[in-house]
Amino acid sequence: MPFDKSVVVPLDPAATFALITQPDRLRRWLAVTARLELRAGGEYRWTVTPGHVAAGSVVDVEAGRRVVLTWGWTDGDPEPGASTVTVTLTPVDGGTEVRLVHDGLTDDQAARHAVGWNHYLDRLVVAGMCGDAGADEWAATPEQLDELSSAEATLAILQHVLRRLDASDLTKRTPCTEYDVAALADHLLRSIATIGAAADAALPARDESAPLETQVADAAQAVLEAWRRRGLAGKVHLAATEVPAVLPAGILSLEFLVHAWDFAQATRRPVSVAGPLSEYVLGIANRVITPDARGYAGFADEAETGPDAAAFDRLIAFTGRHPDFVASAK
Find all residues with CB under 8 Å of 15, minimum gap 6, and list them: 128
Q: In CATH, what number is assigned to the domain containing residue 178?
A: 1.20.120.450
Distance (Å, whole) CA 19 – CA 67: 12
Full residue range of the structural domain in which residue 311 is found: 137-318
The reply to whether 93 and 232 lie within a common domain is no
Q: Considering 130, 160, 175, which residue would you say is the last residue of a domain?
A: 130
Distance (Å, whole) CA 21 – CA 39: 11
User: What does the angle CA 42 – CA 4 – CA 10 come to, to the nearest 5 degrees?
Assistant: 80
Q: In CATH, what number is assigned to the domain containing residue 32?
A: 3.30.530.20
**Would you state the pLDDT for residue 141?**
87
The reply to whether 100 and 205 lie within a common domain is no
The reply to whether 91 and 110 lie within a common domain is yes
Per-residue pLDDT of the chain (330 residues; tens, 9 = 90+): 799 999 999 999 999 999 999 999 999 999 999 999 999 999 999 999 999 999 999 999 999 999 999 999 998 899 999 999 999 999 999 999 999 999 999 999 999 999 999 999 999 999 999 999 999 999 998 989 999 999 999 999 999 999 999 999 999 999 988 899 999 999 999 999 999 999 999 999 999 999 999 999 999 999 999 999 999 999 999 988 999 999 999 999 999 999 999 999 999 999 999 999 999 999 999 999 988 777 655 678 888 888 899 999 999 999 989 887 765 544
Distance (Å, whole) CA 18 – CA 14: 6
Asked if the structure places residue 327 within a domain, the reply is: no
Q: Considering 111, 130, 149, which residue would you say is the last residue of a domain?
A: 130
The reply to whether 115 and 142 lie within a common domain is no
Asked if the structure places residue 196 within a domain, the reply is: yes
Distance (Å, whole) CA 105 – CA 144: 25
Number of domains in the chain: 2
The reply to whether 147 and 267 lie within a common domain is yes
Q: Considering 114, 130, 146, which residue would you say is the last residue of a domain?
A: 130
The reply to whether 275 and 203 lie within a common domain is yes
Asked if the structure places residue 77 within a domain, the reply is: yes
Asked if the structure places residue 108 within a domain, the reply is: yes
The reply to whether 155 and 234 lie within a common domain is yes
Asked if the structure places residue 329 within a domain, the reply is: no
Cα Rg for the chain, rounded, in angstroms? 21
Distance (Å, whole) CA 61 – CA 225: 25
The reply to whether 87 and 28 lie within a common domain is yes
The reply to whether 63 and 145 lie within a common domain is no
DSSP H/E element including 292: helix 291-296
2: helix, coil or strand?
Answer: coil
The reply to whether 57 and 105 lie within a common domain is yes
Asked if the structure places residue 211 within a domain, the reply is: yes
